[in-house]
């Protein structure tokens, strides 16, 4: 469980109605993105993607992401640990990411997630200045550590999920492998999927 004491940082959907939860995918856009979109489309689920803009180029299917009802958020340009950077360096990373997404997609970016979940007062001040909502999570799937045991990703989520949870996933091969099962099991537990923070 990740819990921030900062009032400006979202870790779950505080005013969630019923059993809404949010799937979030970090570190794209990856080569697996079209397959992630196929699974989400088949399951009728919308999600939020937090992208490193060094990976975003025009032939990534960003238009399908938006067309399918998903949201693209900023995740910096190069995925540094922001707490190790100066204010100016953080501004360059965060603002550059926001502007790159907006330039390519024509859509305003509302949400930001700091790489590694690491931030400091400068990070939050910059996000506020850029009118970005900082979004963390309350459930880490640990999918990045589970290439050899992808079913544990499902267990990590199902054990802790609750109404209003924001779930941290990544655009990884092992996550793609378990995603249909994860979504089906979450539905069986009575959850529905939202992108409204």
Task: Report pLDDT digits (tens) over 127-155.
Answer: 999 999 999 999 999 999 999 999 999 99
- Mean pLDDT over each residue of the chain, to the nearest integer: 94
Name 72's bridge partners: 49
- Checking if the pLDDT of 157 tops 50, the result is yes
**End-to-end Cα separation, the chain, in angstroms:** 18
Question: What ranges do the domains of the chain cover?
Answer: 9-193
Based on the number of CB atoms within 10 Å of its own CB, is 196 exposed (0-12), middle (13-18) or buried (19 or more)? exposed
What pLDDT score does 149 carry?
96
Domain 9-193 CATH class label: alpha beta
Residue with more model confidence, 1 or 63? 63
Nearest to 145 by CA among 137, 154, 153, 135: 153
What pLDDT score does 1 carry?
42
Task: Report pLDDT digits (tens) over 44-92.
Answer: 999 999 999 999 877 789 999 999 999 999 999 999 999 999 999 999 9
Query: What predicted TM-score, i.e. pTM, was given to this entire model?
Result: 0.95
- Checking if the pLDDT of 182 tops 50, the result is yes
Number of Cβ atoms within 10 Å of the Cβ of 191:
20
């Amino acid at each position: 469980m990740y819990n921030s004491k900062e009032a400006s940082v979202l870790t779950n959907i505080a005013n969630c109605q019923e059993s809404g939860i949010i799937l979030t995918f970090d570190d794209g856009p990856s080569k697996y993105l079209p397959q992630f979109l196929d699974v989400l489309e088949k399951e009728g689920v919308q999600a939020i993607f937090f992208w490193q803009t060094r990976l975003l180029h025009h032939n990534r299917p960003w238009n399908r992401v938006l067309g399918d009802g998903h949201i693209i958020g900023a995740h910096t340009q190069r995925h540094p640990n922001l707490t190790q950077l100066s204010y100016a360096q953080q501004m360059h990373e965060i603002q550059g990411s926001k502007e790159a997404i907006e330039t390519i997609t024509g859509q305003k970016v509302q949400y930001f997630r700091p790489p590694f979940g690491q931030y400091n007062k400068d990070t939050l001040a910059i996000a506020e200045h850029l009118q970005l909502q900082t979004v963390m999570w309350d459930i880490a799937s640990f999918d990045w550590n589970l290439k050899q045991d992808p079913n544990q990703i499902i267990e990590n989520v199902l054990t802790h999920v609750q109404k209003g949870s924001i779930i941290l996933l990544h655009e990884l091969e092992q996550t793609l492998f378990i995603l249909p099962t994860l979504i089906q099991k979450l539905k069986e537990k009575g959850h529905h999927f939202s992108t409204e923070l």
